[in-house]
Amino acid sequence: MDENSITCDVAIVGSGFAGSCIANELSGKGIKVVILEAGPDVQPNFNAYMKSFYEASSKVPESPYPPAVRDVREEIFINPKNVAAGRPSSLTVGGSTWTNPDKAYLDQSTSKRPFKSTYERLAGGTAHWMGLTPRLVPNDFRMKTMYGKDQPGFVDWPIDYNTIEPYYQRAEAELGVAADVDEQRFCGIDFSGNYQYPMPKIPPSLFDQRVGEALAHLGDEETQFLGMGRPVASLAVRSLPAARNSQPYRNRRACAGNTNCIPICPIQAKYDPTITLNEAANKGARLVPHRVANEILIKNGCVSGITFLTYDRESGPKTGSGVITAAVYVIAANGIETPRLLLMSKNKGQFPNGVANSSDMVGRNLMDHPQYLTWGLLPQPVFPYRGPLVTSAIGELCDGPFRAQRAAFRVSLGNEGWTTVVGGGARFGADPNVTTLDFVNGMNFSGVNTQGLTGLGSDNRALFGDDLTRTLGNLISRQFRIAFPVEQNPDPNNRVTLSSALDALGLQRPKINYDISDYTMQGFATAFRLKKLIFSKLGATEFTSVPKGDPAAFKIDSVPELFTYGGAGHVMGTYRMGNDPKTSVVDEWQRSHDHRNLYLVGSGTFPTVGTANPTLTLSALALRTAEDIVKNLPSLKS
């Protein structure tokens, strides 16, 4: 095969969850599939990634994976204009760097608030995910019907829960999901036939059990603020479905409790797309790395090819160019890189707004699950830093009549202590290292080196010997974290466009405009009240705080708290599906309304986001799309 002049039946751009699922399905039917990957090839083992992770001072989600964001020797950020296939990093989407295109890959110089989620650009796509795979609840698919009277921005999906349910089952088998069917029947979620998940649920942690006991008996007067429209006498803590082995599955080991699911599982007990990608390769699919798609070519209303640029090193420059031609084209490059490619594809001015964009909806309605992160100390040890990052959650609050007025949220219980929430910057990394250094060096980045907690006299004590051992054992064993990932409603002004800032290949980088609506903020306000209730029931001491100068900080008039949010890594909504070509980009099969041989897949097609992590749903939709490609391929080849 000429690596720069490629011909196949189906061309796929992007090898993440959606791209690998479709490639695997099609190649298994003898269809010739080629995948263009902007980043490097599948690594033969995890050794290089693990070495990068161990050596990184900041264990951010992107730390094991290329390309590098920071020049460690000079302790400076690498200018994204010198990176061939760049990506955002947790180090650059907040703080003082987020509006500086010379440090941050995403150009957010004119954005009202920072978009904090990140993604990878390497074979297998976003490998740093946590592995959580809940289903959307049925009402998530009909937000206009259920709540659109009061929230006119909501739309219904062109499919419903019953349509996607059998594909949920297939996706759960492919990813290897551990969960319990009976425990997951809430908010209208149901299962057909005698279905059982592929593996038993991951056992609950001590912290999960403690929260479950604390919320087992509640008074109606304590929970009326939730707006459920019925008395809430308890809140059930349920296991959270996860693509993580609770027992050996498909020749992969069971979870060993390493507690670094983000960014990397050292034994691959957590599923990642390279597993399906390797299966597809064994069936004949071909992955071509270091190929950055830069334009979708249109002839007579159909895609006639996709041009790409090549490079050898992360810093570029380009080493060549090429074109891939096929009967069917699938863009699976995530919710930011897919609209970027569509918008760049102007075809010498024939499409000034980009291809597949007659609706002017490409790039619009960018959504995430802004996360309200809270943390504290329990009166008794729960011994965090064991097991997966999250094993359980509270799901009943994902739907209810309150959604006519405010956003829903899930309550996610963390097992990683304060790793996610307490950091001392690049120099000191994250907890428990920060707390340890606080007591070794007499600092107080964590906020726990105080007289009231240690009983050892004045604040900011530097300890050693038995005092150090006893204090750290006491404090770190009582750490906990609770997250509230909050629903975001679609807003066409939250969008991806093209920046004047370029990368090392000379391509325009993504420009982001992002804000959070009052609807979502009111979800934060209710989450705040629930947090206060949970902490009270646990008898916990709260340490939740907002960093000084946080660009994401905001206030809500009805709540005496300064809020901020974290990115969930859930990039959604930028090329939504729908029945009307005037208000959507793709149909229910994720097929472009404008170009009949073009499919746009991934969470960018979500019209609304609910509160579930998007990976299972986008994988289920990809499996459904593969069926449509198989059905239409003969006519598109003729």
Domain CATH code at residue 81? 3.50.50.60
Residue 217: which domain range? 202-240+371-485+518-563
pLDDT at residue 468 in the model: 95
What is the sign of the dihedral through the CA atoms of 461, 464, 470 and 474? Answer: positive
612, 479: one domain: no
- Token pair 């703080």 is found at 95
39, 99: one domain: yes
415, 360: one domain: no
276 contacts 167 by C-beta, under 8 angstroms: no
Distance, CA of 482 to CA of 374 (rounded, Å): 5
Distances (CA, A) of 86 to 105, 310, 317: 6, 14, 13
Sequence-distant (6+) residues with CB within 8 A of 376 are 480, 535, 538, 540, 541, 542, 543, 544
- Token pair 């425990």 is found at 183
Q: What is the CA radius of gyration of the chain?
A: 24
8-state DSSP, 401: G
Determine the residue type at 407: A
Distance, CA of 626 to CA of 24 (rounded, Å): 9
**Element (H or E) spanning 508, and its range?**
strand 508-513
Distances (CA, A) of 595 to 115, 228, 438, 498, 598: 30, 44, 59, 22, 6
End-to-end CA distance of the chain: 23
Is 184 part of any domain?
A: no
431, 335: one domain: no
452, 586: one domain: no
Is 190 part of any domain?
A: no
Would you call 495 exposed, middle or buried from its count of C-beta atoms within 10 A (0-12, 13-18, 19+)?
buried
Please write down the long-range contacts of 70-73, taking CB distance under 8 Å and 24 or more positions apart: 70/426
pTM equals 0.97
Is 265 part of any domain?
A: no
SS3 369: coil
Would you call 638 exposed, middle or buried from its count of C-beta atoms within 10 A (0-12, 13-18, 19+)?
exposed
Best CA proximity match to 114, nearest among 573, 563, 512? 512
Is 220 part of any domain?
A: yes
What would the two tokens of residue 71 be?
């020049």
Best CA proximity match to 620, nearest among 126, 196, 26, 175? 175
Q: What's the gap between Cα 510 and its chain centre? A: 18
476, 541: one domain: yes
Helical pair 17-27 and 274-282, crossing angle rounded to 10 deg: 20
15, 117: one domain: yes
Per the document, the length of the chain is 638
pLDDT at residue 55 in the model: 86
423, 477: one domain: yes
Give the E-state strand segments of 4-119 in sequence order. Answer: 5-7, 10-13, 33-36, 70-71, 76-77
Distance, CA of 520 to CA of 523 (rounded, Å): 5
411, 470: one domain: yes
Is 185 part of any domain?
A: no
Is 174 part of any domain?
A: no
Distance, CA of 580 to CA of 36 (rounded, Å): 30
Q: How many structural domains compose the chain?
A: 2
Q: What is the mean pLDDT of each run of 10 residues along the chain (638 residues)?
A: 87 98 98 97 87 85 90 82 96 91 97 97 92 98 96 96 98 98 97 96 98 96 96 97 97 93 93 96 98 98 98 93 98 98 98 98 98 97 96 98 98 96 77 92 88 63 93 96 98 98 98 98 98 98 93 94 96 98 98 98 98 98 98 94
22, 91: one domain: yes
For residue 297, report the phi and psi dihedrals to the nearest 5 degrees: -95, 135
What is the number of alpha carbons within 13 Å of residue 558 lying toward its C-beta? 11
Is 494 part of any domain?
A: no
Sequence-distant (6+) residues with CB within 8 A of 638 are none
Is 180 part of any domain?
A: no
pLDDT at residue 450 in the model: 81
SS3 466: helix
SS3 398: helix
What would the two tokens of residue 539 be?
């008898």
Distance, CA of 459 to CA of 476 (rounded, Å): 18
552, 417: one domain: yes
For residue 289, report the phi and psi dihedrals to the nearest 5 degrees: -80, 170
395, 322: one domain: no
Distance, CA of 599 to CA of 342 (rounded, Å): 12
Distance, CA of 617 to CA of 163 (rounded, Å): 12
HEC-encoded secondary structure of 285-335: CEEECCEEEEEEEEECCEEEEEEEEEECCCCCCEEEEEEEECCEEEECCHH
What is the number of alpha carbons within 13 Å of residue 278 lying toward its C-beta? 10
Please write down the long-range contacts of 253-260, taking CB distance under 8 Å and 24 or more positions apart: 255/202, 255/387, 255/388, 257/386, 257/387, 257/388, 259/384, 259/385, 259/386, 259/387, 259/388, 259/389, 259/415, 259/416, 259/419, 260/53, 260/59, 260/389
The per-residue DSSP string of 597-633 comes to TEEE-SGGG-S---SS-SHHHHHHHHHHHHHHHHHHH
Distance, CA of 249 to CA of 109 (rounded, Å): 46
pLDDT at residue 196 in the model: 98
